[in-house]
Chains A and B, each alone.
Chain A
Amino acid sequence: MTALLDVSGVSRSFRGLRAVNEVSFAVAPGEIVAVIGPNGAGKTTLFNLIAGALTPDDGAIRFDGRDIAGLRADRRCRLGVARTFQLVRPFAGLTVEDNAIVGALARTPDVAAARREALAALDRLGLADRRGLLASQLTLPDRKRLEMARALATGPRLLLLDEAMAGLRPTEIDGMVSVLARLNRETGLTIVLIEHVMRAVMALAQRIVVLHHGEKIAEGTPADISRDPVVIRSYFGEAAA
């Protein structure tokens, strides 16, 4: 099966700092892949490169067989790449419903149809009863949910989630895990998630990519990764310390 997302030899530097260094990995349609690594490993930068917020210095990014590395973020969204931001960025002055409608309008110019899509997405994330509130009135966990609902409303084929669970309580994490698992099962949505919450990673990911200092140091199933000595030293070791 051809990959939905194929990242090959992608690099990006900031003033000499190699934030992402020749990273390659592929994601098959319908797969859930986790990207883990210590703070500053380059995870968010990698997402920015895939979603189009940044352009790579080097390497190719193929989505559904097409090279998208040169496309603007909005074009990539319309092709089916949606992302959430690690630091949530809701449209604060818009209602929860209008936030989601903006997302849904990526698929249809018809506002009434977009509203239906938006409500379905809000419903999935359990935000339907808060749709009339301003986004600025939401709690942080709800803002994270809104961020996801809005991305989901764009009708993506690939969803990039940047630490969607951070700051959630354990029960909320379990809730989010089941939402994502259901989404993946029911719609075949492909998901790549950056996550520090190992409980969520182990529950969701079929495969894990480990970044460290901008480089991919390991890749494999959750079972492989949790036994990998390199990973344990560079990542779990630090986290446990």
Chain B
Amino acid sequence: MTDWAGRMAGDAPPRALPLLAALLAALLVLPAIVDSYVLSIAILVLYFAYVGQAWNIMMGFAGQLSLGHSLYVGLGAYASAVLFVHHGVAPWIGAFAAIGAAIAAAAIIGALAFRFGIAGVYFALLTIAFAEFTRIGFDHFPWIGGSGGLFLPVARHGESEFWMLRGPPVMFYYVILSMAAMAFAMCRLLMVGRIGYYWRALREDEDAARALGIDIFRYKMLAILISSAMTAPAGVFFAFYYNTLFPEQIFSMLRSIELILGPIIGGLGTLFGPILGAFVLTVLAEVLNEVLAALGWEIPGARQVFYGLCLLVVVMYLPEGIWPALARRLGLERRR
């Protein structure tokens, strides 16, 4: 336990820990001080922080660009929702099936790509292809609702609400907060361990990494398996929070893009990047919505254009993302 805690703290800059504790404390009391609208946005922020963290393992740590992470979200969502709707299985149990489904898909993609040296843009295309195939497959699968969608009954009797994840937004808030906190801790552990060093090494130069004893295939497989396993619970959350699933939506490429923007804008390969990116993007997009609504303007696709602009600004002025620049300002640089 102390060893674990020691590794967690490790070489973290001394000011990071109090800051992290303050952030966590603020997030814990948030529902008591904000209204339901702000709470719903906080849930979104934490959701994107969570999936962003999971995706960051692939791209930020191991340098493998996945543009099809909606596949793991969707598989996770459908696996847990189908078990719940058809068999009354609680999502906490369904989550294991969700993770299993995501890992199975990731194993196929990883084995195909990494065994045959498919990398870079071609790997990204392969991940898109798998998500698209799955979307089309689910569209034509009536037992799970097909393109007409799968709906979760809103209330069930006899079981505790928490166990079945049927409850008010504040319950979902604490669930996603716990998930985001665990994802953060897990990524931190991975990052400071051997696996984190090996991922960054193979991200930088595969041949040099191989010469230093790194089994490239194995470590790429670990990246995609861990990342997909971490992404699947986001799908479970999505299913039970929104109660409706459409293949068209959940497997869509837009969803894959949406979930990678946070870490890119926040800072690839950093632990705070996905959190900061999720916050900046979600909150600013919400503000934009409010402003447009107040002006009475109805602009379809405004959110996407806004995301595009954010990306443009960050790529031009802060190519490493917001967090590394902010960390320097706050004196939170990793000790060198």
**Interfacial residues, chain A to chain B (CB-CB below 8 A):** 51-53, 72-74, 77-78, 82-83, 85, 89-95, 98, 101-103, 105-106, 109-111, 114, 131-133, 150-151, 154
The answer to whether B204 and A106 have CB atoms under 8 Å apart is: no
Could you jot down 27 A-B contacts, CB within 8 Å?
A52-B210, A53-B207, A53-B210, A72-B210, A72-B215, A73-B210, A74-B214, A74-B215, A77-B210, A77-B212, A82-B211, A85-B207, A85-B208, A90-B205, A91-B200, A92-B204, A92-B205, A93-B200, A93-B203, A95-B336, A98-B200, A101-B197, A102-B198, A102-B214, A111-B7, A114-B197, A150-B212
**How near does chain A come to B324, taking the closest CB pair, in angstroms?**
12
Q: In the complex, what residues of B have CB within 8 A of residue A94's CB?
A: 200-201, 204
Distance A90 CA – B198 CA, assembled complex (angstroms): 14
The answer to whether A102 and B209 have CB atoms under 8 Å apart is: yes
Q: In the complex, what residues of A have CB within 8 A of residue B207's CB?
A: 53, 73, 85, 89
**How near does chain B come to A82, taking the closest CB pair, in angstroms?**
7
**How near does chain A come to B62, taking the closest CB pair, in angstroms?**
13
B193 interface residue (CB < 8 Å to A) = yes
**How near does chain B come to A79, taking the closest CB pair, in angstroms?**
9
Q: In the complex, what residues of B have CB within 8 A of residue A114's CB?
A: 194, 197
The answer to whether B213 and A106 have CB atoms under 8 Å apart is: yes
Q: In the complex, what residues of B have CB within 8 A of residue A132's CB?
A: 335-336
The answer to whether A102 and B201 have CB atoms under 8 Å apart is: yes
**How near does chain A come to B303, taking the closest CB pair, in angstroms?**
32
> Given the interface contacts A91-B204, A91-B205, A94-B204, does A102 sit within 8 Å of B211 by beta carbon?
no
Most A-side CB within 10 Å, residue of B7, B194, B200, B212: B212
**Of the candidates A74, A103, A111, A150, which one forms a contact with B193 in the assembled complex, judged by CB atoms under 8 Å apart?**
A111
> Given the interface contacts A98-B197, A102-B201, A105-B197, does A111 sit within 8 Å of B213 by beta carbon?
no
Q: In the complex, what residues of A have CB within 8 A of residue B216's CB?
A: 74
Starting from the known contacts A101-B197, A103-B213, A132-B336, 19 additional A-B residue pairs (CB-CB under 8 Å) come to A53-B210, A73-B207, A74-B212, A74-B214, A74-B215, A78-B213, A85-B207, A89-B205, A89-B208, A90-B205, A91-B204, A94-B200, A102-B212, A105-B213, A106-B214, A109-B194, A131-B336, A151-B211, A151-B212
Output the nearest chain A residue to B201 by Cβ-Cβ distance: A102
B181 interface residue (CB < 8 Å to A) = no
List B143-166 residues whose CB lies under 8 Å from chain A.
none
Q: In the complex, what residues of A have CB within 8 A of residue B197's CB?
A: 98, 101-102, 105, 111, 114
What does DSSP make chain B's interface, helix, strand, loop or mixed? helix
Q: In the complex, what residues of A have CB within 8 A of residue B194's CB?
A: 105, 109-111, 114
Q: In the complex, what residues of B have CB within 8 A of residue A93's CB?
A: 200, 203-204
Output the nearest chain B residue to A155 by Cβ-Cβ distance: B213
**Interfacial residues, chain B to chain A (CB-CB below 8 A):** 7, 192-194, 197-198, 200-201, 203-205, 207-216, 335-336
> Given the interface contacts A93-B200, A93-B204, A102-B197, does A74 sit within 8 Å of B210 by beta carbon?
yes
Output the nearest chain B residue to A106 by Cβ-Cβ distance: B213
Distance A72 CA – B215 CA, assembled complex (angstroms): 9
Q: In the complex, what residues of A have CB within 8 A of residue B201's CB?
A: 91, 94, 102
**How near does chain A come to B306, taking the closest CB pair, in angstroms?**
30
Output the nearest chain A residue to B203 by Cβ-Cβ distance: A93
The answer to whether A53 and B211 have CB atoms under 8 Å apart is: yes
- Listed from nearest, the 7 A-B pairs whose CB atoms lie closest are A132-B336, A106-B213, A77-B213, A91-B204, A89-B208, A73-B210, A102-B201
Distance A112 CA – B211 CA, assembled complex (angstroms): 22
Distance A90 CA – B336 CA, assembled complex (angstroms): 17
Distance A172 CA – B151 CA, assembled complex (angstroms): 72
Most A-side CB within 10 Å, residue of B7, B200, B204: B204
Q: In the complex, what residues of B have CB within 8 A of residue A111's CB?
A: 7, 192-194, 197
The answer to whether B211 and A83 have CB atoms under 8 Å apart is: yes
